[in-house]
């Protein structure tokens, strides 16, 4: 029985074409700014996101953190969604690396309102207040089940932040999914953001790599922070080539992942949150038991709590596998 791995869209392996691109990559020393493939990828991503410059890093966590580190420091504050990646899945890095703190707000499926931000703004006029520096937005939202921000709501949040003198960081690890699902241009999604992180190793299927895009002036500080946290790579063009290939060949096919998620949810009688992109969440009575039962049926999924499971469709899971995966889910449910 072939294993079906739906734990994350990070489990994909390089395609044959991507491996050829990696092998043929022209490389140089990126710490000196001399890797032509890295430079080409940075220029390309900056352009498609509508920013002046970008810098390549190995991981999404590093991308988020060096962006946030350029916006806030010791004793300062970043407003974030309670369930955001930067709060829950980055090892407490906001405080550990930069000495800043997060102030969390709530919104359905990780999407908060301008009013929620306005309600927690501090005057900054007393010695008691931490200085607020930024608002972080995650689109699509991981723990929200791949939820997409309504563009007008994202813009309203950004406008409140900027009106209060705060910067906006967009954690766009899966902004590609939001773009493909809605048809809204990537530049439009990123227009209000001061810094944007994007990931190439999730839905796009590269083995590693993320980027931060911002202004030419801020990118200098971000490159310095990349070096500080160990992200100064040498011949990184072998990985940047995978990212270039992914943008050429894997961007529009994200629509297939979205269709697979919708079809899987329709075929399996769980309490799924309505899928918007490629991440499926379902509320169940005993998530760990269901995860184990699914594993015995040859399907890997994750429990995100005692009563919630997550399944993620991706490049290595095809539409023709959906019915088989659904049958295995139903058998797994029967086990418990």
Reported as a single tens digit per residue, the pLDDT across 109-160 is: 999 999 999 999 998 778 888 999 999 999 999 999 999 999 999 999 999 9
- In percent, the amount of the chain with pLDDT more than 70 equals 100
Is residue 258 within 8 A of residue 180, CB to CB? The reply is yes
Do 62 and 184 fall within a single domain? yes
Euclidean distance between CA atoms 177 and 139, whole angstroms: 9
Note the pLDDT tens digit of each residue in 225-266.
999 999 999 999 999 999 999 999 999 999 999 999 999 999
- Does the pTM surpass 0.75? The reply is yes
pLDDT of residue 335: 83
Question: How many structural domains comprise the chain?
Answer: 2
What percent of the chain is modeled with pLDDT above 90? 96
Last residue of a domain, one of 209, 227, 249: 249
Whether 218 and 239 map to the same domain: the answer is yes
Distances (CA, A) of 152 to 30, 155, 271: 38, 5, 29
Q: Write the CATH number for 267.
A: 3.90.1150.10
Radius of gyration of the chain (CA): 20
Query: DSSP alpha helices (H): ranges in 174-307?
Result: 175-182, 186-190, 216-228, 237-249, 254-267, 287-296
Residues 260 and 198 in one domain: no
β-bridge partners, 47:
none
- 171 confidence band (pLDDT: 50, 70, 90): very high
Alpha helices in the chain (DSSP H): 16-23, 36-49, 60-69, 85-88, 93-98, 114-120, 151-163, 175-182, 186-190, 216-228, 237-249, 254-267, 287-296, 322-335
Does 115 share its domain with 172?
A: yes
Residue 285 has pLDDT above 90, yes or no: yes
Sign of CA dihedral 40, 42, 48, 51: negative
Instruction: Tell me the angle at which helices 60-69 and 216-228 cross, rounded to the nearest 10 degrees.
Output: 120
Pair 151, 211 in one domain: yes
Model pLDDT, residue 1 = 67
Q: Closest Cα to residue 56, out of 27, 90, 95, 96? A: 27
CA–CA separation, 120 and 107 (whole Å): 14
Domain containing 34 equals: 16-249
**CATH number of the domain enclosing 93:** 3.40.640.10
Q: How far apart are CA 207 and CA 284, in angstroms?
A: 32
Residue 174 lies in a domain: yes
Domain assignment present for residue 215? The answer is: yes
- CA-CA-CA-CA torsion sign (21, 26, 32, 33): negative
> Which of 176, 167, 190 is closest to 73 using CA atoms?
167
In Å, what is the CA distance from 257 to each residue of 180, 202, 277? 11, 12, 7
| Last residue within a domain, chosen from 191, 218, 249 | 249
Average pLDDT, the chain: 97
């Amino acid at each position: 029985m072939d294993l079906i791995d739906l734990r994350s869209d990070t489990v994909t392996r390089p395609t044959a074409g991507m491996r050829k691109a990696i092998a043929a990559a022209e490389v140089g020393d990126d710490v000196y700014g001399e890797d032509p493939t890295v430079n080409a990828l940075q220029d390309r991503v900056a352009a498609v996101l509508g920013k002046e410059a970008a810098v390549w890093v190995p991981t999404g966590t590093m991308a988020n953190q060096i962006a946030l580190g350029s916006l806030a420091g010791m004793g300062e504050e970043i407003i974030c969604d309670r369930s955001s990646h930067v709060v829950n899945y980055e090892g407490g890095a906001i405080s550990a690396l930069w000495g800043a703190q997060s102030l969390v707000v709530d919104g359905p499926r990780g999407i908060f309102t301008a009013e929620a931000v306005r309600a927690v703004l501090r005057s900054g006029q007393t010695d008691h207040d931490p200085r607020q520096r930024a608002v972080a937005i995650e689109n699509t939202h991981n723990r929200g089940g791949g939820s997409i921000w309504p563009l007008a709501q994202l813009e309203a949040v950004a406008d409140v932040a900027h009106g209060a003198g705060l910067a906006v960081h967009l954690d766009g690890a899966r902004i590609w999914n939001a773009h493909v699902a809605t048809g809204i241009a990537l530049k439009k999604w990123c227009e209000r953001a001061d810094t944007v992180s994007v990931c190439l190793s999730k839905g796009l299927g590269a083995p590693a790599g993320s980027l931060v895009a911002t202004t030419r002036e801020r990118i200098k500080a971000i490159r310095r922070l990349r070096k500080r946290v160990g992200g100064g790579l040498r011949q990184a063009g072998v990985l940047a080539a995978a990212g270039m290939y992914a943008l050429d060949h894997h961007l529009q096919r994200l629509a297939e992942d979205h269709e697979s998620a919708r079809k899987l949810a329709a075929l399996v009688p769980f309490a799924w949150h309505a899928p918007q992109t490629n991440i499926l969440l379902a509320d169940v009575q005993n998530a760990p038991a269901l995860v184990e039962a699914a594993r015995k049926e040859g399907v890997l999924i994750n429990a995100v709590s005692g009563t919630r499971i997550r399944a993620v469709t991706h490049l290595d899971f095809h539409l023709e596998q959906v019915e088989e995966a659904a049958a295995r889910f139903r058998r797994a449910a029967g086990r418990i």
